[in-house]
């Protein structure tokens, strides 16, 4: 504490130092690096190859010549927005899932917990499963001196959350809050002490154990395919390497993209190599398809060049290349 004011740490400290800047984009957000040399490509590659479903999906895009790490959070809700009327057991389940995720990152060793954003408005929750999703910022500087400081902020933030949710107070939650303040208990100790009957314990080794919702009979979380069939969400294209932010909502049954306004639904003007009528997306209500419109420089899906006039199924996360410009379906 300095002059009666708490010192910032974590991502707040990096913001104060001008290392990162937050940019809102609807229900998603991004962190812009004020110097591209802060970016750690190896960490970013690990995030792209993740299989444990611990982290919020992200992608690297260009923002006024600077690197922006864009986080796809529109399917989840920050824990800070779930507190009104929440049940004590549900809150504990969410926190236990958060602990399980952090323990997995720490035990895995490929990424540093120091780069996880621990602000409660950046800890996201799948409201169907109560599993948490973490925001990881792949930069070569940290807002924490060591892991102990990271965990201290985590515990302090969670105690504040519990103290502010007076309507769901219960003996179990009060005990849980006291245990959080007990520095002799590790996160693994806290998880194992507070877990429900029938839930697996976590050891010091890497674990994929997550607390199940009490509303779901404590069943373990099972990954569900993220497709338009299940979510019913409208997909959109986000330019990865454009000189400015470009988002294309695929909110019609047919969306044609190119550079000639009278031939297409969305004009891409920043790349002359994109054809006047380059490609078309079709939404049949369940699945999205893309068709190359005999473009001069080709349309690609995840590196595969499309044959003109042929329908190809696409899904969330696919990389669409038009000429030499990349877009991601989100």
State percent of the chain over pLDDT 70. 85
Does position 178 have pLDDT exceeding 70, yes or no?
Answer: yes
Q: How far apart, in whole angstroms, are the C-alpha atoms of residue 76 and residue 261?
A: 35
pLDDT at 330: 86
Q: Residue 191: what are its φ and ψ, rounded to 5°?
A: -60, -50
Q: What is the mean pLDDT of residues 204-222?
A: 36
pLDDT at 107: 83
- Label each residue of 227-295 as H, E or C: CHHHHCCCCEEEECCCCCCCEEECCCCEEEEECCCCCCCEECCCCCCCCCCCEEEEECCCCEEEEECCC
Q: How far apart, in whole angstroms, are the C-alpha atoms of residue 20 and residue 138?
A: 11
Which of 33 and 182 is assigned the larger pLDDT? Answer: 33
Does position 205 have pLDDT exceeding 70, yes or no?
Answer: no
Contacts of 190 (CB under 8 A, 6+ apart): 99, 176, 179, 180
Q: Dihedral angle at the C-alpha atoms of 112, 82, 159, 208, nearest 10 degrees?
A: -40
Window from 76-85, 122-131, 203-212, 298-307 with minimum mean pLDDT: 203-212
Could you tell me where the DSSP H helices lie in 109-210?
Answer: 147-164, 171-180, 187-194
Tally of CB atoms within 10 A around 171: 8
**Under 8 Å between Cβ of 297 and 273:** yes
Whole-model pTM over 0.75: no
pLDDT at 166: 61
Pairing of strands 325-329, 319-322: antiparallel
Q: What is the mean pLDDT of residues 40-44?
A: 89
Q: What is the mean pLDDT of residues 105-120?
A: 88
For 228-329, CATH gives: 2.60.200.20
pLDDT at 204: 58
**Confidence band for 133, pLDDT divided at 50, 70 and 90:** very high
Q: What is the mean pLDDT of residues 305-310?
A: 89
pLDDT at 198: 58
Q: What is the mean pLDDT of residues 6-22?
A: 85
pLDDT at 237: 93
Window from 80-84, 207-211, 267-271 with minimum mean pLDDT: 207-211
Q: How far apart, in whole angstroms, are the C-alpha atoms of residue 57 and residue 71?
A: 6
Q: What is the mean pLDDT of residues 82-86?
A: 87
CA atoms within 13 A on the CB side of 161: 29
**Confidence band for 197, pLDDT divided at 50, 70 and 90:** low
**Under 8 Å between Cβ of 11 and 122:** yes
Q: Locate the domains of the chain by residue range.
A: 228-329
Share the mean pLDDT of the chain: 83
Burial 45-66 (b: 16+ CB within 10 A, else e): ebbeeeeeebbbbbbbbbbeee
pLDDT at 134: 95
């Amino acid at each position: 504490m300095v002059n009666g004011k708490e010192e910032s740490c974590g991502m707040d400290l990096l913001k104060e130092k001008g290392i990162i800047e937050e940019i809102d984009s609807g229900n998603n957000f991004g962190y812009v690096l004020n110097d591209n040399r802060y970016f750690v490509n190896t960490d970013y590659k690990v995030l792209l190859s993740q299989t444990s479903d611990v982290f919020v999906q992200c992608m690297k895009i260009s923002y006024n010549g600077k690197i922006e790490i864009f986080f796809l959070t529109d399917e989840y809700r920050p824990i800070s927005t779930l507190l009104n009327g929440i049940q004590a057991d549900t809150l504990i389940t969410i926190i236990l899932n958060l602990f399980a995720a952090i323990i997995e990152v720490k035990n895995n060793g490929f990424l540093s917990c120091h780069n996880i954003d621990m602000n409660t408005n950046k800890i996201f929750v799948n409201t169907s499963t109560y599993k948490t999703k973490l925001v990881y910022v792949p930069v070569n500087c940290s807002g924490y001196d060591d892991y102990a400081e990271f965990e201290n902020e985590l515990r302090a933030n969670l105690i504040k959350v519990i103290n502010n949710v007076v309507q769901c107070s219960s003996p179990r939650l009060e005990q849980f809050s006291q245990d959080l303040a007990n520095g002799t208990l590790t996160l693994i100790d806290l998880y194992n002490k507070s877990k429900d009957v029938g839930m697996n314990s976590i050891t010091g080794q890497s674990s994929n154990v997550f607390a199940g919702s009490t509303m779901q009979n404590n069943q373990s979380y099972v990954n569900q395919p993220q497709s338009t069939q299940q979510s019913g969400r409208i997909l959109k294209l986000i330019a990865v390497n454009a000189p400015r932010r470009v988002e294309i909502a695929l909110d019609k049954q047919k969306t044609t993209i190119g550079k000639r306004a009278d031939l297409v639904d969305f004009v891409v003007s920043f790349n002359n190599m994109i054809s006047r009528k380059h490609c078309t997306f079709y939404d049949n209500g369940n699945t999205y398809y893309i068709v190359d419109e005999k473009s001069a420089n080709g349309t690609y899906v995840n590196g595969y060049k499309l044959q003109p006039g042929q329908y190809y199924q696409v899904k969330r996360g696919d990389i669409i290349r038009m000429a030499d410009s990349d877009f991601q379906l989100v």
